[in-house]
Amino acid sequence: MASICFYFQVHQPYRIKRYRIQDVGQHSRYFDHQDQTNLNNRWILNKVSKKCYLPANELFIKLLRKYPELKISYSLSGVFLEQIRDWQPRVLRSFQALVATGQVEILAETYYHSLASLYSEQEFTDQIAQHRSIVKDLLGVEPRVFRNTELIYSDQIVAHIKKLGYLAMITEGADHILDWRSPNFLYQASESELPLLLKNYKLSDDIAFRFSSKDWSGYPLTAPKFAQWLSAINGSGELINLFMDYETFGEHQWQSTGIFEFLEALPGELLKHPDNDFITPSEVVERYEPIAKLSIPEPISWADVERDLSAWRSNSIQQQALEEIYSLESEVKKSQNNQLLTDWRRLQTSDHFYYMCTKWFADGDVHKYFNPYESPYEAYIAYANCLADLKLRLEEEQVNLSNQVSAMVQS
């Protein structure tokens, strides 16, 4: 028996506009870029909704009705849910319809798709709780399995997730942790013994990255071919974890590549093999026993070939920006100013630090990765200016607070 576990990541950050030094102290609208460019969050959401979220959701609803055996799971960031609630209610309704099929599991994550797990246990906990609450509100369910931002994982993080009561955690089946072992089994964390689902990155990336690549030996990837690859795992594995960004469907792989036709044909092809079935992460934990323990002291992720944290904190500007934003935690929380707290948290979204990455850019190849800014340096300056403004607001709060206190003392 090989069980196929699909999990799709759905996320859109609040991108920072070109917030200049001239804006600091003048206004604090960091995220409201108005021109129709890749910094306009609403414009991007509308664009991706049309190309991906609406057609992909419609297709999955159809497939779930047609195949009652089909199961899929999603992780939707809190900032994504907020944006569709405010700007794309149709997309929200289609996710609600997906959940209503009973064949869809929703996973837990941090509300702000942040790196809080690496900097502050308290903030990490708060954001997970905030995410639970919006998922409950908008989708009516309570997640039981946790996936961290960009599948970032370490022994320390999993210990905390266990304390919070989650059933299992999802991460990357990185070569350097698995070595000779197969990702196609359930594992568990060495200390906390929490079950771990590991992404089969080869098969996942065949769809997510290579589907339309003409230089790839697997091209063209058809549903019968892919189903055959998966079925071949029967006997040598129990579980095939296919984890990818949901934007794969229609946004990264355009409609014209045939990605939707591929997806539509895939469940039928997989079910032709009697030993295949579909499973959600929490069902995995109920059905399978962990095959081995894994100790992962250094954080891993699903990003790039390195599968480490270098996409978000390998250079001096990323490190400085991260240290500075998290250094403000106690002051921001003391202020009890909700807008300040929200802005501070939106500035924690991992994408901001990703845009400052220079590791690919170092060879002068700008086109290797997506960046809505002209350069990582521009991304940093906009971010640094927001931080400067945020700090001004904090100072102002403190002055107001002490004025109130002295007024109270005098009266």
Partner 1 sequence: MYGGPLKVLMFGWEFPPHNSGGLGTACYGLSTALASDHQLTFVLPRKLDLEHQYLNFEFGDREIDVQAVNSLLKAYADLNSYRAFLRGSLGNYGQSLLAEVERYSTQVEPIAQRVQPDIIHAHDWLSFGAGIKAKEATNRPLVAHVHATEFDRTGGTGVNQQVYNKEREGLEAADHVIAVSSFTKSTLVEHYGITPKKISVVHNGVLPDKPDRSQSLPFAKYKELGYKIVLFVGRVTIQKGPDYFLKTAKNVLSYLPKTIFLMVGSGDMAEQMINLSVELGISGNIFFPGFLRGQELHSIYQVADVFVMPSVSEPFGITPLEAMLNGVPVIISKQSGVAEVITHGFKADFWDIEEMTNQIVGVLKSGPLRQIMSKNGRRNAKVQTWKRAADKCAKIYQQVVRSS
> Hey, which residues are catalytic here?
150
With beta carbons less than 8 A apart as the criterion, state whether 92 and 80 touch.
no
Please report how many Cα atoms fall inside a 13 Å half-sphere around the Cα of residue 75, on the Cβ side: 27
Task: Choose between 130 and 319: whose C-beta lies nearer to partner 1.
Answer: 319
Stretch that binds partner 1, among 103-111, 193-201, 344-352, 357-365 (CB under 8 A): 357-365
Which residue carries 């290797």 as its tokens? 368
Q: How far is the CB of 13 from partner 1 (least distance, A)?
A: 21
> Does 385 contact partner 1 by CB under 8 A?
yes
Q: How far is the CB of 320 from partner 1 (least distance, A)?
A: 4
Structure tokens at 189: 């964390």
Structure tokens at 372: 């809505």
Stretch that binds partner 1, among 201-209, 277-285, 381-389, 395-403 (CB under 8 A): 381-389
Task: Choose between 6 and 354: whose C-beta lies nearer to partner 1.
Answer: 354
Q: How far is the CB of 384 from partner 1 (least distance, A)?
A: 6
With beta carbons less than 8 A apart as the criterion, state whether 161 and 146 touch.
yes
Stretch that binds partner 1, among 64-72, 105-113, 336-344, 375-383 (CB under 8 A): 375-383
Stretch that binds partner 1, among 97-105, 226-234, 336-344, 358-366 (CB under 8 A): 358-366
Task: Choose between 75 and 315: whose C-beta lies nearer to partner 1.
Answer: 315
**Side chain identity at 23, as an amino acid letter?**
D
Number of residues counted as binding partner 1 (CB under 8 A):
21
Near partner 1 in 285-344, by CB under 8 A: 315-317, 319-320
C-alpha distances in Å from residue 145, one per residue of 23, 138, 167, 187: 42, 18, 5, 14
CA–CA gap between residue 194 and residue 44 (Å, rounded): 37
C-alpha distances in Å from residue 190, one per residue of 124, 154, 186, 292, 395: 22, 11, 13, 9, 45
From candidates 190, 358, 397, 401, binder to partner 1 by CB under 8 A: 358
Q: How far is the CB of 382 from partner 1 (least distance, A)?
A: 9
Structure tokens at 378: 């521009």
Task: Choose between 28 and 358: whose C-beta lies nearer to partner 1.
Answer: 358
CA–CA gap between residue 124 and residue 114 (Å, rounded): 8
Near partner 1 in 1-20, by CB under 8 A: 20
Stretch that binds partner 1, among 39-47, 188-196, 237-245, 380-388 (CB under 8 A): 380-388
> Does 362 contact partner 1 by CB under 8 A?
yes
Q: How far is the CB of 345 from partner 1 (least distance, A)?
A: 23
Structure tokens at 327: 């250094």
Please report how many Cα atoms fall inside a 13 Å half-sphere around the Cα of residue 113, on the Cβ side: 23
List, in order, residues 6 or more apart from 297 with CB less than 8 Å away: 154, 155, 156
Q: How far is the CB of 85 from partner 1 (least distance, A)?
A: 33
Phi and psi for 303 in degrees, rounded to 5?
-90, 135
From candidates 84, 238, 380, 393, binder to partner 1 by CB under 8 A: 380
- Coil vs helix vs strand at 255: helix
Which segments of 49-186 does DSSP mark as H helices, in order?
54-66, 78-87, 89-100, 116-119, 121-139, 155-163, 175-178
From candidates 165, 274, 297, 364, binder to partner 1 by CB under 8 A: 364
CA–CA gap between residue 183 and residue 198 (Å, rounded): 6
Near partner 1 in 19-58, by CB under 8 A: 20-22
| Residue ranges in contact with partner 1 by CB under 8 A | 20-22, 315-317, 319-320, 358, 361-362, 364, 366, 374-375, 377-378, 380-381, 384-385
